[in-house]
Amino acid sequence: MYEETDRHRMFTRRALILGAGQLGLFGVLLGRLWQLQVSDSEKYASLAEDNRVNTKLIVPARGRILDRLGRPLARNVPAYRVRVVRERTPDLRATLEALAELVPVSPRRLEEVEKQARELRAFVPVPIRDDLSWEEVARIAVRAPELPGILLDQALLRDYPHGPILAHVLGYVGPVNERELEAERDPLLALPEFRIGKKGIEKRYDKRLRGRAGLSKVEVNALGREIRELDRDEGDPGEDLRISLDLDLQRFCFDRLAREKAAAATVIDVHTGAVLASVSIPSFDPRPFTNGLTAAAWRKLSHDPLFPLVDKSIRGQYPPGSTFKMMTALAALEKGVIDPSHEVFCSGVFTLGDARFHCWKTGGHGRLALVQAIAQSCDIYFYDVALRVGVDAIAAMARRFGLGDRLGIDLPGERPGLIPTRAWKRERLGQPWQKGETVVTGIGQGFVLTTPLQLAVMTARLCNGLRMIRPWYVRPADAEPAEWPRIELPEDGLRAVLRGMYEVVNGARGTARRAKLPIPGITLAGKTGTSQVKRITRAERARGDHKRKDKPWRERDHALFVCYAPFEAPRYAVAVVVEHGGSGSKAAAPPARDIMTRTLEINPAGADLLAARDLPRKG
């Protein structure tokens, strides 16, 4: 009896415990269900939606680059591309090899495509080439049944319609590399078809040219396969960028210098600093860079001894030779060690201790003052003046005119040149400065290095009322003439220097008399320069080797010419450097004259140049 009662009580307790456990479990399930269905419903609905909907970035159309008149220099053109889908071909490698028999695809590219296709999901299209011609598209379309998995579609490709003529200024775009991707961490850069600015204007203004990426919402199944597009935002195209270059003038400059092995020219507006033309010879075609240059093509360009990839107008550093003499003269005039009437007798040789320094004219120029020293480019005169004023004063003057430091042009890669001082040599070489080095610095030799752009800016600052203009391609906010700082110099000294530049071209003994403009009533002022690239020994000078015309090309002097016009009312400055061209008067002055003539004909500044004929002449 008692045993039966104990069993009943034990059963009742167990039943109660079991029931309570079941009730608690049910409560937990009910609470969790409430949380899923009510409390967190929006969260899980969003997760479910994310599983069902994929969001993809849409590459925006890149902004165009236009010249000063709105003519396209860089644009986007429709291009055909070919892609492969791995799941649609039974033999990926065989399909790719069959495609390569129809259109050029390098073995290296085939390997890259095959690797990428196996890393991605089988239904994801992998790009093979983005620049098919219509003939190549037709060949693929005809053989389509034999190319399972191959897709043809259309995309936008960056195009440079003027090719090498503008390559150094515009630069180019190319595929994003790992370093660039890590630096920006922008998901847009991870898209295979996205291109980023690599050089020139394309690189400097890349963010403005990119635009805003679009978004596409696509419904996908459990495997991630696209079913249909639910929504689409096209984004915003990149900003069109108008730059200062004049396409016609740029083409003329390029064609005029193309006959040289290596040369550079720059044309600027002397009042605003706008770069109207900038040419570097030899050049290259920027279009192949868009989809990545082949290794062989890159080796050919990068190992070319004439450096076609280097923009010589901002990266070429050359001894300025006699184009530097105005800086020596102005330094001496400002310090008061000479005045415009200061005379020096040139016998053809200048002696300093045991050293002998020669004038370019073997018999010498006789006695002359500043204006004729510039006009006839007498070396002896400027040896004397340089010793009187000293190298540090010359360097300080040169820097005020834009030499020896970067000018801040809105292109990447500008080099600073070099204007030496006593302190520079002591710090860099650990040696004291020598008087003989001051002598050669006075005529733009020795350590002195400048770029063609710097020489153009120097010339502009000389003739524009001593305004310290800065060069630009995309107009800055402070490009108005009244806002440029002014260089303070004695007026009589400046007039003498400018008059000397006038006499270089228009005087009876000027070194560039053949550079006169063919435009009636408008005159050109300028300065020739011939800079040695190899020291001439006494024995070589005695034999006359330095004047041989059959010297190896790389041993010939660089030829330079700087000029401005109209002399009566300056508007444009031109600097030309012909590498190993020999004499500045023969190799650099004629193309500079032709470039200035064309500039005045086009007249991009829009000034009333004809009215300049009635103005009083400077100097």
Residue 582 and residue 530 in contact, taking contact as beta carbons nearer than 8 Å: yes
d(CA 296, CA 277): 31
d(CA 339, CA 195): 59
d(CA 163, CA 326): 37
Q: Which two tokens stand for residue 408?
A: 């801040």
Residue 229 and residue 535 in contact, taking contact as beta carbons nearer than 8 Å: no
Q: Which two tokens stand for residue 172?
A: 């180019």
Q: Which amino acid is at 609?
A: L
d(CA 346, CA 443): 15
Quick count: other Cβ atoms within 10 Å of Cβ 94?
A: 12
Look at the block and give the residue holding tokens 């030899």: 282
By DSSP bridging, strand 241-242 and strand 65-66 are: parallel
Catalytic entry in 244, 278, 280, 322: 322
Q: Is 495 exposed, middle or buried (0-12, 13-18, 19+ CB in 10 A)?
A: middle
Quick count: other Cβ atoms within 10 Å of Cβ 274?
A: 23
322 is catalytic: yes
Strands (E), 341-408: 344-346, 349-352, 355-358, 366-368
Quick count: other Cβ atoms within 10 Å of Cβ 299?
A: 11
Q: Sign of torsion, CA 418 420 423 429?
A: positive
Q: Sign of torsion, CA 219 222 223 227?
A: negative
Q: Where are the alpha helices (DSSP H) in 235-294?
A: 247-257
Q: Sign of torsion, CA 395 401 402 408?
A: positive
By DSSP bridging, strand 53-58 and strand 214-220 are: antiparallel
d(CA 8, CA 6): 5
Return the active site residues.
322
